[in-house]
Structure formats: structure tokens, C-alpha cells
Amino acid sequence: MEDPKVLERMRADWNERAGEDAYYYVAFGRREQDDEEFFSTASDIVKGLVWDLKRVRGRDAALEIGCGPGRLMRPLSRNFGEIHGVDVSDEMIRLAGERLRETPNAHPHHSSGSDLALFPDDKFDFVYSYAVFQHIPSREVVFSYLREARRVLKPGGILRCQMNGLPPHAKQYDTWSGVRITEDEIRQFAREQDMQLLVVEQIWTQYMWITCRKRPAGWSASLPGRRVPRASVIRKISNALTGEAVAPVRGPLAALSLWVEGLPDEADLNHMTVTADGLACRLIYIGEPEKDGIAQVNVALPEGLRTGMVPVEMVWLGQPVAEPAWVRIMPAGPSVPRVTTIADGINILSGTRIVTGSVKITMHEVGDATQFHATIEGQGVLEIESFCADPVSERWEFNFRLPERIAAGPHEVLVSLGKRHFAPLAIEVA
């Protein structure tokens, strides 16, 4: 049962944020964006959602949970006869009504904050949510939304959503740093709700994605004991990230793509096992079959795997579905820490022009974040905060403030990680 006080706090906090600077709190890019800049920040997200539409078998209606001012609804509206959005903030919905005036098939609605009672069963072909569940402080509210999404989906409809997959902690969650959800909880939800689990990616990050297909009631219970014909063929195995025919035994590139012909339509992450040399891999992704009938299945390699040529086997419902295939596993290369981005820590869209006095540096393959050090004009930076954004790739974000009395104009930030020193990073202080 959802706590009414939690829902009221969600509504009040998001109304306050909408009144202060709705575009910033929705898109995180920078303060005081204009309409054109705000809507342009949706392009990459929309591309990803449109990519997943190949799974969607009807285009009558879609629903966004946590639609804000309509940033995603407007571009996605061209893919459906009608598109609806709900948001706990009535101020966000007021803004969405204004921004979507010229999009007649887009309909924003104010909601309770935990259910989809506005809509009947089996209405939508596609339900999606982006960077919303990360801000919900209640596990009960998140799973209420997920159950409601299943209810309003048509049979065969697709749920694509994002949530905070960082490891749980004892900290009190609020309406900005919301509750954390584990992969195991998602797997259990899918089993209990007769959802075919197709994707769980970017686990252990703040932006874990899941994709599920609605199956008939009782579907999960009907699967055990079913006879599986060995009709699939693993046509190729490649590195999931580089496309090469080899993968390192560990590290961020230790993942495989299996290209499978004739994969059973009901195959999902909960009922399939992929092993490499007899060790269970972590299943990440099952793609929709292409026109040639070949589907992509992505897995992360297990710990303890040997190098050399190893057999890869695929089992569904406890039975082999294809003959084993082979892939070459090579030793992992040395870890190479590197700086990938530097930007204003608050107004990210301003890039290397530092307008707030705050700086964000992103680095990959960071073994020990406590060894991070940065200076500018010979002065140490202030208030360094570090955050592991992705433990698989060892991606860390370092946020800090510039030293006092740094003059406006061009400067160089010098970064080191222990004894390793990096090339100077150019910034311009406004």
C-alpha cells in the first residue's frame, strides 16, 4: 500500500522544481534552456526508444510514465495513433499541455503518482519511462507502476523503462535520489506478472534499462516441463561491444553476442541459460529476430573462465536448443585509466566553458578513485566528490569546485591518478 504522504511529497517537490526551472530538472543539461535547446536534448533518448519499437506489434497507442513537459512525447507521437503521458506534478502537466498544443494526438494527464487508473486494461502497445523511477523514494510506488503498466498493455505489448540499479544502501531515499532496484527484483517481478523478460542492461548503474513483453496470465506457470525442440542454430559468436570474433576473459569488453537462428519466440532471460565452458554467463539482452530470422542474444562472461577456444551452449527450460558453438577467449589487457569528458558540473550543455564554478570529469577504468587529484594554476581543486557510475567499465565521475580567485578566461586542469598523470584539460572560466 502506497503511503499518501510519499505521494504528496512527490507532487509537492516536483511542482516546486517545475516552477523553479522545469527544463533543468527534466533534462539536467543546464539552467534556463529555451524550448529549442530543451527538446533537442531528447534526440538520443528517442533514437533508443524508436530502436526498441521493432518489438512493438501495433502502433495504436503509447504511454509515457513521468512525461514532464512532453520532451519525449512530442517526437514519439509520430510513431503512434495517439500518445498519452502521466505525471505526478500538475505544474509539469500544465507545461506539457502548452508545449504539445500543436501535437493533436498527444495527451498529457495529471496522475496520482502511483497508478494508471485513468486508463482501461489492454489499451497500449508500448509503455515507456525514462529517468523517472530513479526519483521515486518508495519501492512500493515503483512496483505499483510496473504492475499497472502490465495491466494497461495489450497482450504482446512492450514495457521499456529505466530505474536506479545502483547497489542498495541504508540511506533514506527522497524525491531526487530515489529507491534502488536490483536485477533479482526485476526478474521476480517478471515471473510473478507473466512478463517475458527480454532486457536487463546497465545493471549496477543509476540508469538500468529493462524491457518486458506482456504474456497471457499463467504463462510463466505453463513453461516448466514443456518439451523444447532443438531447432535453433548459433550462426555466429562475436564480441558484444567490438564485433570481433574474440573476447577478453574479464573487464568491460568481456561480453558476447550470440547470433541465433530460430530462437523460440517465448525465450526470455528468466528461463534461458547460456554457458561458456560450463560456467553460467549473465544474460543481458534478447533481440527481436531480423528478417532473416536471426536474433541477437548478449551475455556477460563469467568469472573464472579459462582462455583459449571454449564451447558456448544455450539452454531454454532446462533443455538444449542448439548445438554448442565455439569462441576464442583471450587474456585481459592491462587496465588503462583515461579521461573521457570534462564539463561544467551543473550546466553540462555548456561543455568546457565553466559558468557555475563547478567541474565534472568522467574517467574510465579507474581502479582506485581515492587516488584522484586535480589542480588548476598550481592550486588544488575544492570539495572533490566521486561517484562510480558504472562498476563494469569502472566509470567514475569526479565533481569539484574551482579554487577561489581563478580569473576568467582559458585555463588548464591537471589531473593525476596516483602516479599516472594525464594530458592537460582545457577549460574556459566564464
pLDDT one-digit tens code per residue, 182-235: 999 999 999 999 999 999 999 999 999 999 999 999 999 999 888 887 789 999
- Are 270 and 315 contained in the same domain? yes
Asked whether residue 323 is assigned to any structural domain, the reply reads: yes
Mean pLDDT of 357-363: 96
Task: Specify the amino acid at residue 317.
Answer: L
- Residues with Cβ within 8 Å of 214's Cβ and at least 6 positions away in sequence, in order, are 150, 153, 154, 155, 156, 157, 158, 159, 194, 195, 196
| Last residue in a domain, options 300, 330, 360 | 330
> Which pLDDT value is given to residue 129?
98
Measured CA angle at 139 (ends 138, 143), to 5 deg:
120
Same domain, 19 and 35: yes
CB 31 within 8 A of CB 25: no
Degrees to nearest 5, angle at CA 14 with 8 and 16: 100
Q: Give the DSSP letter of residue 55.
A: G
Tell me the CA end-to-end span of the chain in Å, nearest whole number. 50
Helix (H, G, I), strand (E, B), or coil: what is residue 260? strand
Judge if 49 and 178 occupy the same domain.
yes
User: 279 and 305 in contact (C-beta within 8 Å)?
Assistant: yes
Q: Tens digits of per-residue pLDDT, 44-81? A: 999 999 999 999 999 999 999 999 999 999 999 999 99
Question: 171: pLDDT confidence band, cut at 50, 70 and 90?
Answer: confident
Instruction: Let me know: does 356 contact 347? Beta carbons within 8 Å.
Output: yes
Question: 393: pLDDT confidence band, cut at 50, 70 and 90?
Answer: confident
C-alpha span between 87 and 93 (Å, rounded): 7
On whether residue 228 sits in a domain, the answer given is: no
Mean pLDDT of the chain: 94
| Residue 4 pLDDT | 85
pLDDT of 405 above 70: yes
- Which parts of 178-228 fold into alpha helices (H)? 183-192, 219-222
3-class SS of residue 353: strand
Burial 242-255, CB ≥16 within 10 A → b, else e:
eeeeebbbebbbbb
The pLDDT value given to residue 32: 84
Domain ends where: 310, 330, 350?
Answer: 330
- Check whether residue 291 and residue 358 sit in a common domain: no
The whole-number average pLDDT for the span 17-30 is: 89
- Going from the C-alpha of 81 to that of each of 2, 50, 105, 130, 320, the distances in angstroms are 33, 15, 7, 21, 42
100: domain range?
A: 4-222
Residue 316's Cβ-count burial label (10 Å; 0-12, 13-18, 19+) is buried
pLDDT-above-70 percentage for the chain: 99
> What are the CA-CA distances from residue 324 to residues 20, 71, 269, 301, 307 (Å)?
58, 46, 19, 16, 17
pLDDT of residue 172: 82
Per-residue model confidence as pLDDT tens digits over 282-311: 999 999 999 999 999 999 999 999 999 999
337-346 pLDDT per residue, tens: 999 999 999 8
pLDDT surpassing 60 at residue 1 = no
For residue 55, CA distances in Å to 52, 130, 158 come to 6, 18, 7
**Final residue of a domain: which of 294, 310, 330?**
330
